Amino acid sequence: MGDGRKSETTRRRFMAGASGVVAAGFVTLRPAQATPESMTAAIRQVTGEAKVQPGKVKLDVPPLVENGSTVSLTVSVDGPMTAANYCKSIHVFNEKNPQPNVAAFHFGPRTGRARVSTRIRLADTQTVVAIARMSDGSLWSAKAEVIVTLAACVEEL
């Protein structure tokens, strides 16, 4: 998804520059990519108007990745998971994929540890955001910059 999509986007931008009228037809074919604004909107869907504080949640993602189609990611909130106090969920967002949502993970006291490792897709160099919701309703955030390098010899079919 990384490289193929990128070249489409570049071509679309070129078309847009060359002729607004022709470009309009192309633009409607594909959704606009997510933006920092659409990421903020997606985050608001989860948090509502509640205050989100930086901290508590950890987001581990390599700063430089070989291929945006498979990016290792670990999110976690340290601390015990008790019935009285636990991490309810961690939500992951990005700003430049076609869609701002990446994943949401839901926990309970029986999860034992609020920590998930997975693999995600990043279409381009961008910021990834994680938001954690605790059982007391508090919201915490972390963010990371990821550089997605462009491969030289991509497969052409």
Partner 1 sequence: MASALVNVPKKAKRGDVIEIKTLISHVMETGFRHTTTGEPIPRDIITSFVCTYNKEEIFRADLYPAFAANPFIVFSTVATESGTIEFVWQGDNWFSVTQSARIVVE
Partner 2 sequence: MTVGLKRLAPLAVLLAFAAIAAHAEIPLNERRAGTADLAPETKAMQDDDSANPGMLVVLDGEALWKAKAGAANQACADCHTDARASMKGVAARHPAFDARLGRPVNIEQRINMCRVERQQATPFAYESKELLALSAFVGNQSRGEPIAPPADERLTPFRNAGRDDYFRRQGQLNLSCAQCHDDNWGKRLAGSLIPQAHPTGYPLYRLEWQAVGSLQRRLRNCLVGMRAEAYDYGAPEYVALELYLMWRARGLTVEIPAVRP
Rounded Cα gap, residues 142 and 114, in angstroms: 15
Nearest to 103 by CA among 87, 123, 84, 89: 89
Binding flag, residue 150, partner 2 (CB under 8 A): yes
Q: Taking a C-beta distance cutoff of 8 angstroms, is the pair 36, 95 a contact? A: yes
Of 67, 99, 101, 111, the one binding partner 2 (CB under 8 A) is: 67
AA identity, residue 124: D
3-state SS of 16-43? Answer: HHHCHHHHHHHHHHCCCCCCHHHHHHHH
Which residues make up the interface to partner 1 (CB under 8 A)?
Answer: 1, 4-5, 8, 29-31, 69-71, 94, 97-99, 101-108, 110-113, 115-122, 157
Binding flag, residue 156, partner 2 (CB under 8 A): yes
Residue 101 contact among partner 2, partner 1, none, beta carbon within 5 to 8 Å by kind? partner 1
Nearest to 95 by CA among 41, 155, 151: 41
Binding flag, residue 154, partner 2 (CB under 8 A): yes
Of 8, 37, 66, 145, the one binding partner 2 (CB under 8 A) is: 66
Residue 111 contact among partner 2, partner 1, none, beta carbon within 5 to 8 Å by kind? partner 1
Binding stretches for partner 2 (CB under 8 A): 3, 62, 65-67, 69-70, 72, 149-156
